[in-house]
Structure 1
């Protein structure tokens, strides 16, 4: 999980210098995040994990489909009511 930490360029340079070998040997991003997390905790910074997204992008598609269906239903209802009144 990513971290929200305010870092200066000096801190980043120090982080890289201290962990140069570990970072070169890291094969996955999770390993780099683990190294970074250990460094941040040693420095005494507060680590805040970001909350999970509360809105899934697939929800937007479902909501959009529902809105389209409602508009089409209301449109058809009005269309048939108009035809019914003109036939009377």
Structure 2
């Protein structure tokens, strides 16, 4: 029983790992998108720049997610974007 569980878990992890790659520049990517680590204010800075830029004009959560997922990836990104937009005092 335990062996079956562990084997299925390993298979699941291996399926997910195939989407990750590291380029010659040392940057980790998920399906070609930059993996953003949870370091300091990096994710918040990306969200703020995407939402508050004078070129973006405070997009909603769906539009912002569609735009950012073209370039970036992190676990829980969609939820982080929804939370960020919900807390915007101007939206």
Q: Give the TM-score normalised by structure 2.
A: 0.27
**Comparing both structures, which one devotes a greater share of its residues to helix?**
1
Instruction: State the structure with more CA Rg.
Output: 1
Q: Give the TM-score normalised by structure 1.
A: 0.27
**Comparing both structures, which one devotes a greater share of its residues to strand?**
2
